Amino acid sequence: MSDRRRILGPANTVTPNIPNSTGSRKPSATNTQSIPPFFLKHSIIENANGSAYLEIGNTLIEVSIFGPRPIRGSFVDHASVSVECKFHPYITPQPQASTFNSAKQTGRTGLTDVEHRISNYLEGCILPCLLLEKYPKSSIDVHVSIISTDRDDLKNNANLLWLMNWIVCCTSVAFVDSGIEMRDVITGGQVRLCGDKVIIHPDLEDDETDEPSVDGLLNFMNLKNDEIVGIWIEGNETDLSTEKMNQLVEECKKMSKIIRANINSYLINSFK
Amino acid sequence: MSVVVPGQYITPVYKLDESSQRPLKFSPGRGTTISDITTDTNTTKSIPVITSTILGTVHIKQIDTDDKEFTTSIVTVVPKGQTFIEESADTETSINLPKENDVVLIRITRISPKQVFGEIISVERANGSGGNILADSGVGANGSTAHASMPPGSATTITQHAFNQSTIASSSTTAIQVPDIGENFRGVIRSQDIRSTERDKVKVIESYRPGDIVRAVIISLGDGSNYYLSTARNDLGVVFAKSENGAGELMYPIDWEHMIDIKTGEIEMRKNANPFV
């Protein structure tokens, strides 16, 4: 007599042969000079005007753009932009939380200090790029969800900058998807200068050296005279010389152009 | 028909046609803008270049001008899903925001003795390039999850992913906003703009009722909340209306001022768009 309280499967079942999981995907020890491969897709959210999803290593970012939509109140002759970046709540601690986040949550917006910093930086990057005067009486809302970060190196100084760079790139693609007019696609580069070495996306082993280092993130409009739209520098080096700074700009520009070329070819291929 | 991405150079504004040695001039149409591009060697000199602002295909069309010196062409970029229209007006952006002198369709939402309020549904343009202001009227609310989408946000309101429950912020000072649905660009028709004749004798209630679909022209971008519209033209006015404030059947115009519900025979007053076309 079979068990009547449960709905049982048919008697002659075959268990499918499921291969064992190969464990977590740890980014392989990267060549210090190369950008790891990344995955990009746009138009992922049906009811947003533009959206994009980006995946690099364990960093997963989703951006949705709403608007231009009407605003209430006084007349404005160009669109206003609001940006909100949020970590999913299970990302604890947030990158650099010990440095930036105060004990109390910032009141009105419900964003933590790190999220505020990210939102502010992103807003600074996209404002010079958008043709806001084409959209009077409107607002454009950008919502960034950070689904996952490279948790292995949460303490890593460069991790926040690395994340920030990909947020900016992903947002650019979402803007292209939305059809909102923009002067150029923003991309960026993020490198660490450590002695004579230039390291892209440093891992934990790079952090263990005692040598002073400087982490830089620069975002560019590469086709518009390589104009810099965002700059963020961290590090434990006390003295940042002009030569170092020049090197930083050049290395970031190089990386930015590689990412830009990838995004360009992705966009053109997706158009067909 | 080459595909361009935002920021990509299309052509310099001034160029010399190599075969005829005639100077060519290009002006930016929809989907393009002018950027000043410097050369690598000399950063003080820059040349104006027409660049794309959206992802799309390039179309260059020569136009006739009085200019003897230059041959002028207009460069446009057409996004995916739209077709290039020869006679298109070239100041339009790729997103259809209403502008002055556009003919629009509005739905009347509220009337008062002095004016009529409505929301703008779509823009009508002679060449057929108009359409809904956005597929979702800019609310981010097309599809079945409309009620769960984002309330319109600005510096003063808090907007969040309501479709992603885990990310809703609920700090003590933040009340989660009930999303505003059906929010569109709003318009107002003042009573003196309803008809062109006897405009001081116009009664709003004898012209429009809530729910009517009205063809109107935009006379001003207006203030922060409303576009200013006018129907003081023969071809403007009610195009669709239902009797008994929307409770009845669709009505048909019988003259310039009256509509009839053929099921009940009820006659109501409206300011009709030209019924004789």
pLDDT, residue B95, reads 67
Phi, psi (degrees; rounded to nearest 5) at B146: -55, -40
Q: Which residue, among A253, A222, A230, A91, has the nearest Cα to A168 in the 3D structure?
A: A230
Closest residue to A108, CB basis, from B5, B134, B174: B174
Is A271 in contact with B55 (Cβ distance < 8 A)? yes
What's the pLDDT tens digit per position in A78-127?
888 889 898 988 887 787 777 777 666 555 567 888 888 899 999 999 99
Phi, psi (degrees; rounded to nearest 5) at B216: -145, 165
Beta bridge partners of B27: B74
Q: Where are the domains of chain B?
A: 3-78, 102-141+182-269
pLDDT higher than 70, residue A31 = no
pLDDT, residue B45, reads 84
Is B164 in contact with A145 (Cβ distance < 8 A)? yes
Burial class (CB in 10 A: 0-12, 13-18, 19+), A265: exposed
Beta bridge partners of B275: none
Dihedral-angle region of residue B138 (phi above 0 means left; psi in -120 to 50 means alpha; beta otherwise): left
Q: Which pair of tokens denotes residue B228?
A: 């200013």
C-beta atoms surrounding B47 within 10 Å: 12
Determine the average pLDDT of the residues in A191-198.
Answer: 85
Which residues in chain A have their CB less than 8 angstroms from residue B143's CB? 46-47
Alpha carbon of B41: minimum distance to chain A alpha carbons (Å)? 12
Q: 3-class SS at A53?
A: strand
Determine the average pLDDT of the residues in A222-247.
Answer: 89
Which residues in chain B have their CB less than 8 angstroms from residue A181's CB? 6, 31, 33, 53-54, 93-94
Which residues in chain B have their CB less than 8 angstroms from residue A44's CB? none
Is B170 in contact with A70 (Cβ distance < 8 A)? no
Is A267 in contact with B5 (Cβ distance < 8 A)? yes
Beta bridge partners of A161: none
ipTM for the complex shown: 0.79
What's the pLDDT tens digit per position in B240-252?
999 888 888 899 9
Provide the CATH topology of domain B102-141+182-269: OB fold (Dihydrolipoamide Acetyltransferase, E2P) (2.40.50)
Is A223 in contact with B7 (Cβ distance < 8 A)? yes
pLDDT higher than 70, residue B104 = yes
Q: Which pair of tokens denotes residue B9?
A: 């150079």
Tell me the C-alpha distance between A170 and A160, whole Å: 15
Determine the average pLDDT of the residues in A248-255.
Answer: 93
Is B33 in contact with A176 (Cβ distance < 8 A)? no
Q: Residue ranges of the alpha helices (H) in B61-183?
A: none
Q: Which residues neighbour B168 within 8 Å (Cβ) at sequence distance 6 or greater?
A: B160, B161, B162, B176
Is B8 in contact with A267 (Cβ distance < 8 A)? no
pLDDT, residue B129, reads 60
pLDDT, residue A3, reads 67
At residue A160 the predicted structure's pLDDT band, cuts being 50, 70 and 90, is confident
Work out the mean pLDDT of chain A and round it to a whole number: 84
pLDDT higher than 70, residue B186 = yes
Q: What percentage of chain B carries pLDDT values higher than 90?
A: 34
Tell me the C-alpha distance between B35 and A34, whole Å: 32
At residue B224 the predicted structure's pLDDT band, cuts being 50, 70 and 90, is confident
pLDDT, residue A103, reads 61
Tell me the C-alpha distance between B269 and A192, whole Å: 75
Dihedral-angle region of residue B195 (phi above 0 means left; psi in -120 to 50 means alpha; beta otherwise): beta
- Inter-residue contact B38 to B55 (CB < 8 Å): no
pLDDT higher than 50, residue B156 = no
pLDDT, residue B148, reads 35
Provide the CATH topology of domain B3-78: OB fold (Dihydrolipoamide Acetyltransferase, E2P) (2.40.50)
Determine the average pLDDT of the residues in B19-24.
Answer: 86
C-beta atoms surrounding B246 within 10 Å: 12
pLDDT, residue A92, reads 76
What's the pLDDT tens digit per position in B49-76?
999 999 999 988 888 877 778 888 888 8
Containing H/E element for A100?
Answer: helix A97-100
Q: What percentage of chain A carries pLDDT values higher than 70?
A: 85
Judge if B3-78 and B102-141+182-269 fold alike in CATH terms.
yes
Alpha carbon of B104: minimum distance to chain A alpha carbons (Å)? 16
pLDDT, residue B179, reads 40
- Inter-residue contact B75 to B63 (CB < 8 Å): no
pLDDT higher than 90, residue A52 = yes
User: β-strand B14-16 against B23-28: which pairing, if any?
Assistant: antiparallel
Q: Which pair of tokens denotes residue A146?
A: 């950070």
Alpha carbon of B132: minimum distance to chain A alpha carbons (Å)? 13
pLDDT, residue B239, reads 93
Burial class (CB in 10 A: 0-12, 13-18, 19+), A249: middle
- Inter-residue contact B245 to B236 (CB < 8 Å): no
pLDDT, residue B228, reads 94
Burial class (CB in 10 A: 0-12, 13-18, 19+), A244: middle
Given the structure tokens 């929301």, which residue do they identify? Answer: B119
Q: Which of the pair, A270 or B124, is modelled with greater confidence? A: A270
What domains sit in chain A, N to C, each tagged with a CATH number? Answer: 34-270 (3.30.230.70)
pLDDT higher than 70, residue B210 = yes
Which residues in chain B have their CB less than 8 angstroms from residue A143's CB? 150, 159-161
Of the ranges A186-190, B150-154, B240-244, which one carries the lowest mean pLDDT score?
B150-154
pLDDT higher than 50, residue B272 = yes
Determine the average pLDDT of the residues in A175-194.
Answer: 92
Tell me the C-alpha distance between A84 and A144, whole Å: 6
Q: Which of the pair, A72 or B122, is modelled with greater confidence? A: B122
pLDDT higher than 50, residue A18 = yes
Tell me the C-alpha distance between B16 and A33, whole Å: 43
Q: Which pair of tokens denotes residue B113?
A: 């003795």
